């Protein structure tokens, strides 16, 4: 049984005998020494997408739910949403942009390491790899003589993602990005 302090975005838990997926976690640390850290968690119902907000302490226990985690492949995007294929039985599932929210910036053709979260045979969400490698679509030109200092510039990627990168990098270079924090890690 997971504790509230161990919850991660995209995790599925059971609340009132219903499956909910964690969509946001906001940690509130108290200002006094004896205070308890609060976790404001937004859950979305797996089937109805209804939102449920709860404030939990770190030791609150949540019931796990029976779900499958299977490797999936991103196929395409159309008016209906984003279509994924199960790599084991080749079943196809479509998720809407609302269901994917902040994960959309990391979805591109050829992404590897995607996992689908299936509850009762239907795809309810995806789990991104910890790191993705993407080519820089557009960034200001590199400054001659710039070193690996702390100065940064904005880089835009084909998916619409914009992050800060070191100023010595150029358009077309492939970089590694942490999907949890959304920050530049290194050149690929």
Where in the chain are all domains bearing CATH 2.30.30.30? 4-64
pLDDT at 148: 55
CATH architecture of the domain covering 132-187: Beta Barrel (2.40)
Record the pTM: 0.70
When pLDDT is cut at 50, 70 and 90, the band that residue 161 belongs to is: very high
Percentage of residues in the chain with pLDDT exceeding 90? 29
Average pLDDT over residues 28-55: 80
Q: Are 87 and 97 in contact (CB under 8 A)?
A: no
Q: Are 4 and 39 in contact (CB under 8 A)?
A: yes
pLDDT at 162: 94
Q: Exposure string (b/e) for 167-188, b if CB count within 10 Å is 16 or more? A: bbbeeeeebebebeeeebeeee
Neighbours of 10 (CB within 10 A): 16
When pLDDT is cut at 50, 70 and 90, the band that residue 118 belongs to is: confident
pLDDT at 177 over 70: yes
Average pLDDT over residues 89-98: 89
pLDDT at 51 over 80: yes
Distance CA 114, CA 133 (A): 13
pLDDT at 7: 84
pLDDT at 171: 92
When pLDDT is cut at 50, 70 and 90, the band that residue 185 belongs to is: very high
Domain 4-64 has CATH 2.30.30.30: yes
Where in the chain are all domains bearing CATH 2.40.50.140? 68-129, 132-187
When pLDDT is cut at 50, 70 and 90, the band that residue 135 belongs to is: very high
Range of lowest pLDDT (7-11, 77-81, 173-177, 181-185): 7-11
Q: Between 179 and 146, name the one with better pLDDT.
A: 179
How deeply is 111 buried, as exposed, middle or buried, from its count of CB atoms within 10 A (0-12, 13-18, 19+)?
middle
Average pLDDT over residues 64-93: 89
pLDDT at 132: 93
DSSP summary character for residue 138: B
Distance CA 107, CA 73 (A): 10
Distance CA 60, CA 44 (A): 19
What CATH code would you report for 68-129?
2.40.50.140
Q: Are 59 and 5 in contact (CB under 8 A)?
A: yes
């Amino acid at each position: 049984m997971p504790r509230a302090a161990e919850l991660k975005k995209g995790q599925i838990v059971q609340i009132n005998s219903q499956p909910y997926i964690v969509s946001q976690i906001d940690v509130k640390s108290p200002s006094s020494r004896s205070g308890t850290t609060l976790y404001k968690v937004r859950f979305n119902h797996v089937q109805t997408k209804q939102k449920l907000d709860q404030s939990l302490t770190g030791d609150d226990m949540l019931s796990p739910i029976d779900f499958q985690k299977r490797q999936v492949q991103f196929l395409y995007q159309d008016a209906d949403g984003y279509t994924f294929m199960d790599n084991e039985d080749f079943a196809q599932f479509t998720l809407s942009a609302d269901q994917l929210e902040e994960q959309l910036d990391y979805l591109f053709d050829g992404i590897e390491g995607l996992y689908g979260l299936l509850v009762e045979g239907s795809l309810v969400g995806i789990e991104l790899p910890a790191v993705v490698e993407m080519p820089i679509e557009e960034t200001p030109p590199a400054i001659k003589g710039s070193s690996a200092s702390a100065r940064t510039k904005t880089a835009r990627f084909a998916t619409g993602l914009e992050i800060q990168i070191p100023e010595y990098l150029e358009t077309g270079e492939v970089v590694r990005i942490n999907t949890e924090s959304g920050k530049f890690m290194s050149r690929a």
